[in-house]
């Protein structure tokens, strides 16, 4: 593992406006990058920690503010009030605009001086669904989707996945039902690797049982090493 530094940068959107992104820069870069997509609570400390962990493994990690069009700079807790607020904001959220913002983040990374590497996308919850959609729609090099909510509503898009894709689910996730998970697994068969932790709940990667989170992260690093040609 390597040390890192972090900052907030401005990414130019397709509309000419700018949105913030949290960037975690490895001290010893491996030449590749990971875009980290948030949960419904915003670019929270746990999301930043995910970016930091990838940076510690040598990846340039960028977590764009996916809610900038609705409420920029959002960082909510898991309190009842904040949960209600997050779901309210989600009602004004557009997957199509999110794809534009992921594309803009990808272009920003590709445009960095000296960057000639590959770019993966990962995300949790809402970010997991967006990661799946990015794998199906955008020219990314790899995708890691953690417990994406609502993927089953886009099963027809699985045929668009052409890059290496890894998907994680919890067996007792109340937001991704067993039926939805089975539908997803059937749709991505031959397109993506699926890992299910039978006893894991929603959010296990950022706030679940430490051993499960650690195992998932190691699997993610191993996957990236293979998909992007790094040592992990």
Count Cβ atoms below 10 Å from residue 80 Cβ, excluding itself: 8
Task: Compute the chain's Rg from CA coordinates.
Answer: 16
- What is the spatial distance between Cα 96 and Cα 66, in angstroms, rounded to a whole number? 11
Asked whether the beta carbons of 51 and 21 are under 8 A apart, the reply is: no
52 in catalytic set: no
Catalytic residue among 18, 108, 202, 215: 202
Torsion region of 131: left, alpha or beta (phi above 0 gives left; psi -120 to 50 gives alpha): alpha
Count Cβ atoms below 10 Å from residue 177 Cβ, excluding itself: 11
Asked whether the beta carbons of 131 and 140 are under 8 A apart, the reply is: no
For the chain, what's the residue count?
A: 232
The candidate with the shortest Cα–Cα distance to 132, out of 183, 82, 177, 84, is 183
Pseudo-torsion of CA 204, 205, 206, 209, nearest 10°?
50
- What is the spatial distance between Cα 20 and Cα 9, in angstroms, rounded to a whole number? 6
Q: How distant is the alpha carbon of residue 70 from its chain centre?
A: 19
Q: Is 89 helix (H, G, I), strand (E, B) or coil?
A: helix
101 in catalytic set: no
Q: Is 181 helix (H, G, I), strand (E, B) or coil?
A: helix
Catalytic residue among 154, 156, 173, 201: 173
Catalytic residues: 173, 202
């Amino acid at each position: 593992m390597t040390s890192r530094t972090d900052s907030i940068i401005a990414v130019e959107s397709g509309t000419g406006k700018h949105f913030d992104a949290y960037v975690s820069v490895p001290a010893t870069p491996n030449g590749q990058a990971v875009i980290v997509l948030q949960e419904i609570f915003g670019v929270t400390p746990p999301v930043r920690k995910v970016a930091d962990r990838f940076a510690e493994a040598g990846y340039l990690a960028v977590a764009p503010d996916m809610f900038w069009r609705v409420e920029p700079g959002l960082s909510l807790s898991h309190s009842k009030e904040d949960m209600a607020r997050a779901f309210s904001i989600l009602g004004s959220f557009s997957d199509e605009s999110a794809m534009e913002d992921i594309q803009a983040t990808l272009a920003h990374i590709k445009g960095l001086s000296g960057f000639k590497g590959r770019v993966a996308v990962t995300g949790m919850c809402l970010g997991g669904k967006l990661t799946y959609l990015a794998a199906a729609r955008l020219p990314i090099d790899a995708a890691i989707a953690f417990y994406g909510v609502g993927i089953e509503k886009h099963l027809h898009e699985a045929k668009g996945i052409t890059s290496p894709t890894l998907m994680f689910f919890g067996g007792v996730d109340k937001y991704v039902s067993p039926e939805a998970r089975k539908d997803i697994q059937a749709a991505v068969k031959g397109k993506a690797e699926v890992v299910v932790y039978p006893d894991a709940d929603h959010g296990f990667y950022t706030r679940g049982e430490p051993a499960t989170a650690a195992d998932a992260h190691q699997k993610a690093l191993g996957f990236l090493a293979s998909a992007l040609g790094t040592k992990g």
